[in-house]
């Protein structure tokens, strides 16, 4: 299992940011994802996009981190979009019925 997680921030315009995540999101790496996500949420940021096409595995702590991100987006009035979920990661979202809660795009951002 890959314990390395990288997050690349790409500002698409003044109101939209893309966070491209690579590696496995586990109990060991989800704090890194959280520390990269949290500063993105502000009243001026209208859309946070998280590209997960580089993530091969995600456990419940990763899901919890993304749920937290969704809550932050709702509090700031922003849009929180996930894209590029691998089959393994999509299965986790579907089993937890979170595919109906999150806005998920099938193509990578």
Tens digit of each residue's pLDDT (9 = 90 or more) over 88-108: 999 989 999 999 999 999 775
Contact predicate 25/5, CB 8 Å: yes
Number of Cβ within a 10 Å radius of residue 105: 13
Range of the domain at 98: 5-105
Strands 5-13 vs 16-23: parallel, antiparallel or unpaired: antiparallel
Helix 30-37 to helix 60-76 angle, to the nearest 10 degrees?
Answer: 10
For 5-49, what is each residue's pLDDT tens digit? Answer: 999 999 999 899 999 999 999 999 999 999 999 999 987 889 999
Q: Is the pTM of the predicted complex or chain greater than 0.85?
A: yes
**Residue 59: which CATH number?**
3.30.750.24
Domain count, the chain: 1
């Amino acid at each position: 299992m890959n314990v390395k997680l990288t997050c690349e921030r790409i500002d698409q315009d003044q109101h939209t940011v893309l966070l491209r995540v690579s590696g496995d999101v586990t109990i060991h790496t989800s704090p890194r994802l959280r520390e990269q996500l949290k500063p993105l949420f502000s009243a001026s940021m209208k859309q946070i996009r998280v590209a997960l096409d580089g993530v091969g595995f995600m456990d419940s702590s990763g899901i919890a981190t993304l749920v937290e991100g969704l809550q932050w987006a709702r509090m700031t009035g922003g849009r929180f979009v996930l894209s590029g979920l691998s089959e393994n990661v999509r299965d986790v979202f579907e089993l937890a019925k979170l595919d109906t809660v999150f806005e998920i795009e099938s193509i990578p951002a």
